[in-house]
Amino acid sequence: MRPERSLILLLVLAGVGQGIFVFLAVADIAWGSYGWARPEVIYWLGVSSLAFAFAGMAASLFHLGNPMRGWKAIIRWQSSWLSREAVSMGLFSGAAALYLLLYFFSAPSGLRTLVGLAGIFAAFALYISSAMLYARISFVREWSNKLTAINFMAFGLASGVAVSYAVLCLLGFNYTAVREIAAVLAAVGLILKAASLAFNKTVYVPLDIKNALVMNEPNIKLMSTGTSYEHYNTKEYSSGFTDAQVRSVLILSLFAAFVLPLIIWAVMTQWPDTPAAGILASLAALSMIAGLIAERGLFFIQGNHLQNLYYATFRSNSASNPLLSKAKKGTPAPVK
Amino acid sequence: MKKEKNGHMLEENEDIQYTTCYMCACRCGIKVTLKNGKIRYIQGNPAHPTNQGVICAKGSSGIMKQLSPARITKPLLRKKNSERGEAQFDEISWDEAMDILVSRLKKIRETDPKKFAFFTGRDQMQALTSYFAKQFGTPNFAAHGGFCSVNMATGMIYSIGGSSWEFGGADYERTKYFLLMGVAEDHDSNPLKLGLGRMREHGGKVVVVNPVRSGYGAIADEWLPIKPGTDGAFILGLIHVLLKNGLYDRDFLISHTNAAYLVTLDEGGEDEGMFHLLHERDMVNTQNTVWDRKSGGIREAHLSDNDPALLGEFKSGEGKTLRPAFQLLVERVMEDGYLEKSAAICGIPAKTIERIGLEMGITARDNTITLPIPWIDAWGKEHKTTTGHPVSIHAMRGLAAHSNGFQTVRALSVLMMLLGIIDRPGGFRYKPPFPRPVPPCPKPINKADQVKPGAPLPAPELGFPSMPEHLAIDEDGNPVRIDKAFSWEFPFTAHGMMQNVITNAAKGDPYHLDTLMFFMANMSWNSTMNTSGVMDMLRQKDKDGNYVIPFLAVSDAFFSEIASFADLVLPDTTYLERHDVISLLDRPICDYSKAADAIRHPILPPKGGCRPFQQTIIDLANALGLPGFCDESGKPLYKTYPEFIANWMPSPGANVGFLAGWRGAGGTKHIVGEPNPAQWEMYIKNKSFWEIQLEDSIKYNRTINQGYLNWSQNMKFKRDNEPIIMHFYSEVMQRFRLAAKGQRKGRQPKTPAQKKRILRYFDPLPFWYEPLEHQLADGGKYQFHAITQRPMPHYHSWDSQNAWLRQIMGQNFLYMNSARAGEMGINDLDWVWVESPWKRKIKVQVKLSEAVQTDTVWTWNAMGKYPGAWNLDPGASEAVKGFLLNHLITEELPHEAGGFISNSDPISGQAAWFDLKVKISKSSEPGLYPVFKPIEPLAHMEKRPGILRYTVDERKK
Amino acid sequence: MSQLALVIDLNKCVGCHACATNCKAWNTAGEFGPLTDTEPYGKQPEGVWFNRVQTYEIGKYPKTEVINFPKSCMHCKNAPCVDVCPTGASYKREEDGIVLVNYDDCIGCKYCSWACPYGCREFDGHEGVMKKCTLCVDRIYNEDLPEEERKPACVLACPTRARTFGDIDDPESEASKAIREKHGYRLLPEAGAGPSNHYLPQRKVKVELDEDEICVKPLAILTIEKKITSYREQIFDDFMSP
Ligand SMILES: Nc1nc2c(c(=O)[nH]1)N[C@H]1C(S)=C(S)[C@@H](COP(=O)(O)OP(=O)(O)OC[C@H]3O[C@@H](n4cnc5c(=O)[nH]c(N)nc54)[C@H](O)[C@@H]3O)O[C@H]1N2
Ligand SMILES: Nc1nc2c(c(=O)[nH]1)N[C@H]1C(S)=C(S)[C@@H](COP(=O)(O)OP(=O)(O)OC[C@H]3O[C@@H](n4cnc5c(=O)[nH]c(N)nc54)[C@H](O)[C@@H]3O)O[C@H]1N2
Ligand code: SF4
Ligand code: SF4
Ligand code: SF4
Ligand code: SF4
Ligand code: SF4
Ligand SMILES: [Mo]
């Protein structure tokens, strides 16, 4: 699929925002009474959560052909994951904002907790609906699997905690525990990404142009797409990247999203009182965000849509997938 | 309030108009819905005989033609100091434009009318344009036929008095076996598509003979990948199979053809190879003879109690040796190993040829169709039923566009005669006014002194010679015409040889021209051979710095390549903006059992300052005071084109004219009748066409159908009601041979080369010979045949200005057989050099295909564009990737007598587009060759829009 | 219930693109238009088309088949494109099963196009809305048109008459009959969308020649062919006469 910038930004940035909020709310609820909930911490974490979420939402508007009508997206929440995404996005940002307001207007903590829990719920609803939006496209096998939702959550939380840690460090609170949580989440993220790459290796859709035309003949060759030029259906469903480019994106994404932050944090472990903690933690967080942007790009690039059968650009199995050229043929996993 | 019109309920701002499409020359009827004065929708006219409601990709895109920013809407004069081809023009007024042209033409007409040459392309108004040229007095007129498919026309017309092209076709309703040879799209586009669809419906077998399997081939039951230029050998192979197995229709041959006529074999005399006659040889009352098996003697042909022999050898009373023509064909094709020889030539295995021959023959034999339609033949014999065989063949340029095409098409005609599938149910059917005599009556001018200053020609420019006396040559045997049509080199040039005009005029061979005028022909680009060379010729100057072709006037509606070369551009209207006739005098819309014609009428106003070319012709004729257009005193008889059409008659009181419908006062008469001033309105009322249905009894066997012959005489389609006997054996050709042998009195060729050519190619029985270019090219070096196909969604060069059609196809590739390319290390989308033996080369992009014969490469025709032409972005793929094969094709071959001779069929003058042989080699560098310097858009043309959102409506909520 | 659909006969389709351009002509000027074209005379022209005709080659030379393959929205029974639409702009009509987009509600999120297994939706970038074949809903019920023309534009246009339109839920419709009698099939049934358009496969006609039908008697002709002195008995002249 074509890696759409606005969607990539939406998924990564909103994911960060959600992650920050989840971290903030959990920390506030669980540790608040331990003096953790200092106004500047709550404020900066809350604001960054909202900032990331809004940045993501703003980016997503660029994806829409008619952003002015964007609100209509909430109409069909009963059937459409995209609609649910919009609804949860609204709920999430509402809850997060309310949470902040409640804090600053010193509302009763029970109410705040309630809103915090609602925000956490909305954040997860948003992770899941964003993910399900893709996972439900059964014509893209690289998307339509359980790992999609798990990864969306894991990467969102990891990046949220990484950013939260950076914010804390910048505020002068270099909490080891938070760094450790971030590291664990990043490690989990790396493992999940590896798992999803491994899964993609096994993706094998036993369909080819024969099935597309329902003609059981060998050697079918596309001679004309019906136009001499590209059009929506040839552009939207292909990434336009070469195999080599894809491989470098893969390496970049893994390194920047997971490896580099882990290294930075490991260094920080060895250097507990560094005055550069803020800078280092920010570097780690930025690297992770950059890496996740690449990772999300890859998510699109690797998505191989069934309609490509008609344009002879469909890769029926991993063996012909340039990313995974050395893998062996997986078990057939027919499309539902 | 909605109002009803033709079954539609229309709003106030809506209208429905019927007219004739001209997105190609197929002449379909269209129904145009208009809203707010703009086109809402163009669809096929369901009532129309040609297309019966369907419409093609081009026809549907008429809206975009109207919208094209490449429209020229002002008369243009080449800027003083600019060079031809640079497209630097001054906008001038129509008055200035007409003054310039008229003063030139006046001078030419008063001195030497042949210095004005007028050649037209894919127009449908040759009756008018040729009449104009004739009245002007120049022999130098022709339309596109000579470079198009004249072999198809003449090969069949000189055999059966009719042809495919738009003049006839298969009885798709009944055919059970259909051979489609060398057709990619056809002139009869929609009828052929309708027919194929119908055939698929009732389950007949479709066999496609073509080096390439494309469009129509896709739905064929069998594809025979033939080597280009070898169909003659294949057809003669089929003939062999039919003869060997006795699968031919004896009765048909005897009644409809001259197969049983006795041919004199004795050598050396005036009658060698001519039919033996019972009475004196005179043109009106020749009595051909047959050997009557019943009486065992020679009798006049076609006596009802004859039982003519087809085989054998007989002696005449005077002791002459005679054999039936049929016997001569048998001798030719029944040699040992004939089939294997044919197979080796055409690349189709002998077994396959045999099977196809048997399939055709047996399908014909075992599925005879009998219709309960009684008819009377020309000799008065009554037939209770009408019979036929459900086998038919349709062929076009794949056969025609080779220098052996005439004889190939002759072979095809003979094959059809053998099967008895001509104008009978299930077979090939004529469209009125065909069948015509073999060959038809009109003869071209035949003497140099018939071209006189200030006088019309006494005879038409074009015609069908049947003896050397009909050739357009002077006393020394040199051509009268600039294109050398109707010369000893190209005797049966019924459509002229437009392909030679520029080259001959540039060389001054046979003479120089003063003014050359093109209408609707892109002669500096896709409709010429040797395109780069021809562009140079148009730019060529003499030592005084004057162009060797002094003045080039072009009528075009678009900023085409030829318009950019013009000295004077006359901007024409589009088909939706003008009056036109699709006349019985020209290329009418008749159906197998209908006589019909049609009109166009303006449903939109002319854009800008453009003016219908028809009107320009009338205005020119009036300004020149041409007889026929003006009275004796030179006073114009008709002001406007519609007026001319409604009133003109070939001679006073002839009562026929351009339009056949609603003649006579009140429009009650058809075909023959006095002019009717309300004729146009009556056409418009009848959805812009007219038709009459033939009665059942005169629909079939029309060459010898008394009822039909009488009808066609009454309708003035034919001068007499004599039966038309098909030329199984062509005595006409033998006449030329005898002249070449010096055995015939009258005109004889002068040079040994002329004699040799006639002797070799004017064989009265069909035969196959290697195309001329193949004879000359080194086959080891130039291993590939290079040919083109018509793309269905484009019409020649016209449609690159069409926003929709160019999206469908905006680049062509050179298609190569995958396996063959593999051997040469050539991959998909590689760039290759393609070189022809004539020191010309191009570099183009390759696409590998499984659907092309191994020795053949091909591309879509006319896709390549000159950068900037058609108001396309100079970087458009048509200009930077698309290419023309034409650069490689030579318009002239070395002549054995020294010098050069047109690369055309030695009989008909058909341009040999598909004889091209090429060498292919992989190029390490991508990129097109040759590339040309872009031209700038004309100042007055609309700017190219970045976004196009055509609509006539507000969207409903 | 009824389900309107197109039935396209690949045994007749010659790939002429008439269905594509006539569709564009009808739709661009009307209720569902305009169908935007960008850079129409430029380097990369691109436009919205509801119907496109692709070409495939099948097999290896010389046993090659060519298929022309028109494709437009299949008006799927389970229309996955409809379920995913967040705004309800995409909908499937109850009464006749036509899948439509209400342009005024479409936010241009393109999600529906991802959910279509066939690539049958086209995004109009200029207008920012998703477009697709309407099954000419503005023709087929249009009482301003003559009754015989209340058919999709592509069906009326098709010069080989390869396209049939009708209710595939009505076993008596022309469309259903064609599907039944000519082995109609649907694309990618595996995808589960339940497409309503059907294709009729190419069907090859063969002439089976029986040995008995091939009469070899006249071979004797070879003996008379070289030297002929006088009239001889005919051997096969009468063979074909009825
Ligand atoms: N859409 C569209 N329709 C058109 C036109 C157009 O430009 N576009 N042009 C019109 C005009 S002017 C004409 S003349 C007609 C021409 O109509 P066609 O005769 O159909 O013309 P071509 O496309 O030249 O097709 C020639 C076919 O012959 C094949 N061929 C080449 N050499 C040989 C050979 O030696 N043997 C055999 N058996 N086949 C061979 C080619 O592969 C090709 O398929 O079409 C008319 N109709
Ligand atoms: N390589 C190769 N070359 C070929 C062929 C081939 O098969 N292969 N085919 C040959 C054949 S058969 C033919 S018929 C020729 C066709 O060649 P042409 O007859 O030259 O056909 P077009 O390219 O259509 O050019 C016609 C010109 O008419 C102009 N025109 C269009 N509409 C109008 C109008 O309404 N009024 C006026 N005044 N002008 C108009 C166009 O702008 C264009 O400049 O090409 C020949 N060239
Ligand atoms: S075949 Fe030619 S005349 Fe007929 S609709 Fe198409 S473009 Fe028009
Ligand atoms: S109009 Fe008919 S024949 Fe032409 S491409 Fe479409 S379906 Fe095929
Ligand atoms: S692009 Fe329009 S029709 Fe498609 S899903 Fe989005 S809102 Fe619905
Ligand atoms: S073909 Fe695609 S767009 Fe049409 S109904 Fe089916 S899923 Fe929806
Ligand atoms: S049914 Fe109408 S909208 Fe759909 S492809 Fe045909 S013409 Fe186009
Ligand atoms: Mo032509």
C17 lines ligand 4 (CB under 6 A): yes
Average pLDDT over residues C205-229: 54
Predicted complex ipTM: 0.95
Cβ-defined contact of C55 to A230 (cutoff 8 Å)? no
- Taking one residue from B and the other from C, the number of pairs with CB-CB distance under 8 angstroms is 321
AA identity, residue A170: L
Of all atoms in ligand 7, which is nearest to the CA of residue C6?
A: 1
Cα–Cα distance, B842 to B526 (Å, whole number):
15
Torsion angle of C-alpha atoms A180, A184, A187, A191, degrees rounded to 10: 180
Q: Which residues of A touch C130 (CB under 8 A)?
A: 65
pLDDT band at B186 (very low <50, low <70, confident <90, very high): very high
pLDDT band at B279 (very low <50, low <70, confident <90, very high): low
Q: What angle do CA A95, A96, A102 make, to 5 degrees?
A: 85
Atom 37 of ligand 2: nearest residue by CA position: B556
Among B27, B148, B152, B210, the mutation site with the greatest number of ligand 1 atoms within 8 A of its Cβ is B210
pLDDT band at C230 (very low <50, low <70, confident <90, very high): very low
Q: Which residues of B touch C39 (CB under 8 A)?
A: 873, 946
Name the token pair of B368. 């005879």
pTM listed for this prediction: 0.95
Residue B284 reports pLDDT greater than 80: no
Give yes or no for B791 touching A (CB within 8 A): no
Cα–Cα distance, C47 to B802 (Å, whole number):
13
Are B213 and B223 contacting, i.e. CB atoms less than 8 angstroms apart?
A: yes
Tell me which residue in C55, C125, C191 faces A223 most closely, judged by beta carbons. C55
Chain B residue with minimum CA distance to C58: B850
Cβ-defined contact of A65 to C114 (cutoff 8 Å)? no
Tell me which residue in B849, B873, B956 faces C57 most closely, judged by beta carbons. B849
Q: For residue A249, how far is its CA from the centre of ligand 1 (angstroms)?
A: 50
Residue B281 reports pLDDT greater than 70: no
Q: For residue B557, how far is its CA from the centre of ligand 1 (angstroms)?
A: 25
Cα–Cα distance, B525 to A236 (Å, whole number):
38
Q: Which residues of C touch B204 (CB under 8 A)?
A: 205
Give yes or no for A105 touching B (CB within 8 A): no
Q: Which residues of B touch C231 (CB under 8 A)?
A: 291, 293, 296, 309, 312-314
Cβ-defined contact of C86 to A311 (cutoff 8 Å)? no
Cα–Cα distance, B648 to B621 (Å, whole number):
14
Centroid of chain to Cα B333: 30
User: In chain A, where are the structural domains located?
Assistant: 5-328
Of A196-210, B64-78, B384-398, B892-906, the least confident: A196-210
How far off is chain B from A298, nearest CA to CA, in Å?
28
Give yes or no for B359 touching C (CB within 8 A): yes
A5-328 topology per CATH? Formate dehydrogenase/DMSO reductase fold (1.20.1630)
Q: Which of B191, B194, B226, B227 is nearest to B207 (CA)?
A: B226
Cβ-defined contact of B44 to C224 (cutoff 8 Å)? no
Q: What is the pLDDT of residue C222?
A: 32
Report which bound ligand comes closest to the CA of B189.
3
Give yes or no for B54 touching C (CB within 8 A): yes
Give yes or no for A215 touching B (CB within 8 A): no
What tens digit of pLDDT does each residue of B490-504 get? 999 999 999 999 999
Average pLDDT over residues B359-378: 94
Cβ-defined contact of B810 to A221 (cutoff 8 Å)? no
Q: For residue B162, how far is its CA from the centre of ligand 5 (angstroms)?
A: 59
Residue B814's beta-bridge partner residues? B846
Q: Which of A275, A336, A294, A306 is nearest to A3 (CA)?
A: A294
Ligand 6 site, CB within 6 A: C 73-76, 79-81, 99, 116, 118, 120-121, 132, 193, 195
**Which chains are within 8 Å of A by 3+ CB pairs?**
B, C
Cβ-defined contact of A228 to B850 (cutoff 8 Å)? no
C200 lines ligand 4 (CB under 6 A): no
How far off is chain B from C107, nearest CA to CA, in Å?
16
Residue C217 reports pLDDT greater than 50: no
Cβ-defined contact of C86 to A80 (cutoff 8 Å)? yes
C121 lines ligand 4 (CB under 6 A): no
Chain A residue with minimum CA distance to C84: A80
What tens digit of pLDDT does each residue of B787-828 get? 999 999 999 999 999 999 999 999 999 999 999 999 999 999
Q: What is the pLDDT of residue B651?
A: 83
Q: Which of B436, B485, B492, B431 is nearest to B467 (CA)?
A: B492
pLDDT band at B286 (very low <50, low <70, confident <90, very high): low
Q: Which residues of B touch A219 (CB under 8 A)?
A: 850
- Taking one residue from A and the other from B, the number of pairs with CB-CB distance under 8 angstroms is 19
pLDDT band at B285 (very low <50, low <70, confident <90, very high): low
Of all atoms in ligand 3, which is nearest to the CA of residue B54?
A: 5
Q: What is the pLDDT of residue C226?
A: 32
Q: What is the pLDDT of residue A100?
A: 92
pLDDT band at C223 (very low <50, low <70, confident <90, very high): very low
Tell me which residue in A221, A226, A228 faces B877 most closely, judged by beta carbons. A228
How far off is chain A from C123, nearest CA to CA, in Å?
6
Cβ-defined contact of B810 to A229 (cutoff 8 Å)? yes
Average pLDDT over residues B649-669: 91
What tens digit of pLDDT does each residue of B431-479 get? 999 999 999 989 999 999 999 999 999 999 999 999 999 999 999 999 9
Cα–Cα distance, B454 to B280 (Å, whole number):
42
What tens digit of pLDDT does each residue of A81-98 get? 999 999 999 999 999 999
Give yes or no for B418 touching C (CB within 8 A): no
What tens digit of pLDDT does each residue of B738-775 get? 999 999 999 999 999 999 999 999 999 999 999 999 99
What tens digit of pLDDT does each residue of B292-331 get? 988 889 999 998 899 999 999 999 888 899 999 999 999 9
DSSP string, B341-373: HHHHHHSS-HHHHHHHHHHHHHHHHHT-EEES-
Q: Which residues of B touch C65 (CB under 8 A)?
A: 218
Cα–Cα distance, A313 to B712 (Å, whole number):
61
Of all atoms in ligand 4, which is nearest to the CA of residue C53?
A: 5
Cβ-defined contact of C16 to B801 (cutoff 8 Å)? no
Strand intervals (E) in B799-899: 814-817, 831-836, 840-849, 856-860, 892-894
In angstroms, what CA-CA distances link B607 with A300, B279, B555? 50, 65, 15
pLDDT band at B3 (very low <50, low <70, confident <90, very high): very high
Of all atoms in ligand 4, which is nearest to the CA of residue C17?
A: 5
Ligand 7 site, CB within 6 A: C 23, 26-27, 50-51, 72, 133-136, 152-154
Give yes or no for B807 touching A (CB within 8 A): yes
Chain A residue with minimum CA distance to B804: A227
Residue B139 reports pLDDT greater than 60: yes
Q: Which residues of C touch B312 (CB under 8 A)?
A: 228, 230-232
What tens digit of pLDDT does each residue of A212-236 get? 898 888 899 999 999 999 999 999 9
Q: For residue B155, how far is its CA from the centre of ligand 1 (angstroms)?
A: 17
Q: What share of chain C is helix, strand, coil (3-state, %, to 5)?
A: 25, 20, 55
Of all atoms in ligand 1, which is nearest to the CA of residue B796?
A: 7
Are C107 and A65 contacting, i.e. CB atoms less than 8 angstroms apart?
A: yes
What tens digit of pLDDT does each residue of B822-876 get? 999 999 999 999 999 999 999 999 999 999 999 999 999 999 999 999 999 999 9
Give yes or no for B809 touching A (CB within 8 A): yes
pLDDT band at B686 (very low <50, low <70, confident <90, very high): very high
CB-CB neighbours of A312 under 10 Å? 16
Cα–Cα distance, B558 to B870 (Å, whole number):
7
**Which of A224, A227, A228, A232 to substitute to test the interface with B, most B CBs within 10 Å?**
A228
Q: What is the mean pLDDT of chain A?
A: 89
